[in-house]
Amino acid sequence: MFQITHLISALFSIASAAIYGYVAARLHQRTIPNPGARLAWQLFDLWWYCVAATTLMSGIQNGIGAFNLASLPFIVALTYVNILLICIALWGLLYYLVYLFTGSQRFLVPLTIFYVLYCVLLIYLITASDPARVEIGRWTTQLVYAHPLAGPFFSLALVLLVFPQILASLTYFTLFFRVRESTQRYRILLVSWCIILWFGSAFVASVAGLSQEDWWQIVSRLLGWARRWGFCLRISRRQSSSEDLELYPLRSKYKQHISK
């Protein structure tokens, strides 16, 4: 049976994926002379590419669900690929945020190990839960598991999905109170709180059970799309090298402000 809500969800996802892909392409064009800053910027660019890919996959999944064409092997394969993309995206974003605050590359290896282990944990949870069938819900096409795992492993996976980025963004936001230039304050405020709201709203919706509510699906997509579009336009705008504020080792720079 045809599901109009799935089609709406798929169209929103495809449009969002196009925005993310556009931003990634714009960011990729920028030239960063400093090697450490260049790596952070490349991983931030990788975050956008992966978000575009996983959002597109969500659109495809809901699109085939709209016409009741989803098969179990196909959705399971999409789920595993999606896990890999999510882990790569989170790795790139978290390293970028850590670099913004520290200006140091020493966290690259620990974060890489962390997200490799996290990817293994997610794959284990999916496999051990034993995907049994595909459920066509009101808004989403999702797997139903024969032996769904709950308890500490599931809680740990959920916490690690969102809280490292939220904590890193909050830490980055503390620089807002040390900066004198209005442009720097604006960019710190924009980047940190867009990420906090992005991850925080998804976490609250999951915990509160709002994911299948019609009003939440519509409102969250409209507000989220508008917020991300504005953020994407601002962060992807070409600027001179002196205005690439997100690439400076900000912590040491603001220590100089405080010492004056």
- In this predicted model, which residue has the larger pLDDT, 152 or 46? 46
CATH number at residue 248: 1.20.1070
pLDDT band at 210 (very low <50, low <70, confident <90, very high): low
Cα(25)–Cα(2) distance, integer angstroms: 35
Answer whether residue 205 shows pLDDT above 60: yes
239 within some domain: yes
Residue-wise pLDDT tens digits, 211-220: 666 667 777 7
What percent of the chain has a predicted confidence (pLDDT) above 70? Answer: 81
| Burial (CB count within 10 angstroms: exposed 0-12, middle 13-18, buried 19+), residue 87 | buried
N-term to C-term CA, the chain = 69
Residue-wise pLDDT tens digits, 48-84: 999 999 999 998 998 888 788 888 999 999 999 999 9
Q: Per residue in 162-193, is it b (16+ CB within 10 Å) or e — as a string?
A: bebbbebbebbbebeebbeeeebbebbeebbb
Answer whether residue 225 shows pLDDT above 80: no
Q: Which of 3-17, 73-87, 236-250 has the lowest mean pLDDT?
A: 236-250
| pLDDT given at position 235 | 59
215 within some domain: yes
- pTM for the model: 0.82
pLDDT band at 227 (very low <50, low <70, confident <90, very high): low
**Structural domains counted in the chain:** 1
Cα(157)–Cα(150) distance, integer angstroms: 10
Domain range holding 114?
A: 4-255
Q: Which of 40-49, 121-130, 164-173, 183-192 has the lowest mean pLDDT?
A: 183-192
260 within some domain: no
**With contact defined as beta carbons under 8 Å apart, do 83 and 117 qualify?**
no
| pLDDT given at position 229 | 64
105 DSSP assignment: S
Find the Cα–Cα–Cα–Cα dihedral 209, 55, 53, 105, rounded to 10°. Answer: -60
| pLDDT given at position 92 | 94
CA separation, residue 25 to residues 42, 48, 53, 142, 158 (Å): 11, 9, 13, 30, 30
245 within some domain: yes
36 within some domain: yes
Q: Helices 4-28 and 35-66: crossing angle, nearest 10°?
A: 160
